[in-house]
Amino acid sequence: MPPQPNPELRRQVIAIYKQLLYLGREYPQGYDYFRPRLHRAFMANANLTDESAIKQGIARAQFVQKEIEALYYLKRYRTLRKRYDAGA
């Protein structure tokens, strides 16, 4: 049986997974597109036991999270900008 990963790292992985799932609700191509791909990406790295590799995976997931958030902010900005321009 392989050694159990650091419980703190496990908690971080689960937390970032949940955050990404939450962000995926508003994904442009839809939640049904986003969720299976997110699940596959995490399951591809489920066998990692090296703490440095797990930390790199968490950092990559946080980068993706920031990119998705930026996508949403840009979308909101454009919507607000259209409303503002239409009212002027």
CB neighbourhood size of 55 (10 A): 14
Q: For the whole model, what pTM was predicted? A: 0.76
pLDDT tens figures, 46-85: 999 899 999 999 999 999 999 988 888 776 666 666 666 7
Average pLDDT over residues 21-36: 90
What's the angle, vertex CA 66, arms to CA 62 and CA 30, rounded to 5?
A: 100
pLDDT confidence band for 27 (50 / 70 / 90) = confident
CA 38, chain centre distance (Å) = 8
